[in-house]
Amino acid sequence: MSTDSPASGAGSATTPIVKLTDVNKHYGQLHVLQNINLEVSKGEVVVVLGPSGSGKSTLCRAINRLETIDSGSIEIDGQVLPEEGKMLAKLRADVGMVFQSFNLFAHKSILENVTLGPIKVKNMKKAEANKLALSLLERVGVANQKDKLPAQLSGGQQQRVAIARALAMRPKVMLFDEPTSALDPEMINEVLDTMVGLAKEGMTMIVVTHEMGFARKAADRVIFMADGQIVEQAAPEQFFTNPQSVRAKDFLGKLI
């Protein structure tokens, strides 16, 4: 059986889209991910909170294999992420990632930024990729900017293009690592609204953010990290009104 057939990677309806089992990672002496166990179900929106340096970005990057791990396993829809090779490229395409810095290709048009992945990685025909890209740019509200270069757009618009670009790969899960932290305040909501829309449409999402309003509104579950560990997880209303750990109480106290 070909492992490239679309059906082969898909687990059953109850298979978690993302599953981390006993994941550990060190940077030298620093134990940056400590025995992380995490399952994210299809359609679930998980918001990751925690102080700076707690390992949130490392966790996201590990899920996309932008970082290797020392031990444990990471599965995407039932398939273990390998160290390298063709299968890694395939599984990585299932994981869309949006960073704090938009990372658009500076010398390519907005449209090309979105079509490049489908054409190069998925061998999509240019006409089909253009059609897909336009519909996604429409969805995030920047289709009228399609012929411009990234620098000609506002930060909020660029970040929405970055979301469209990730969606163009038809990912099974979207990771957002502080997607609004680099934005001017007036642009934060247009990006968060786009993310809320995605969540409502049933996209599986892992979102690192300091936007508590988004966490309250869109999260099914809040994960609180500190010092490389998942210290606490709960439904948002429970986490925000009745945090259990000293670290979480301290973290929430500092936000007010």
The residue assigned the tokens 């009104």 is 241
Q: Work out how close the CB of 36 gets to ligand ADP at its nearest, in angstroms, rounded to a whole number.
A: 12
| CA–CA dist 228, 58 (Å, integer) | 9
Binding characters for ligand ADP, 18-37, by CB under 6 A (x = yes): ---------x--x-x-----
**Residue 64 interacts with which of ligand ADP, Mg ion, none, CB < 5 to 8 Å by class:** none
Walk across the sheet containing 18-27 and list its strands: 30-40, 18-27, 71-76, 79-80
Q: Which is nearer to ligand ADP, 53 or 197 (CB)?
A: 53
**Cβ–Cβ under 8 Å, residues 227 and 249:** no
What is the per-residue binding string for ligand ADP in 114-153, x denoting contact by CB under 6 A? ----------------------------------------
Nearer to Mg ion, 114 or 225 (CB): 225
Q: What's the burial of 254, exposed, middle or buried (CB within 10 Å: 0-12/13-18/19+)? A: exposed
* Binding region for Mg ion (CB under 5 A) out of 17-25, 49-57, 103-111, 243-251: 49-57
CA torsion sign, 179 to 185 to 187 to 189? Answer: positive
Judged by CB under 6 A, the chain residues 41 through 60 that form the site for ligand ADP are 50, 52-58
Backbone torsions φ then ψ of 54, nearest 5 degrees = -80, -10
Binding site for ligand ADP (CB under 6 A): 27, 30, 32, 50, 52-58
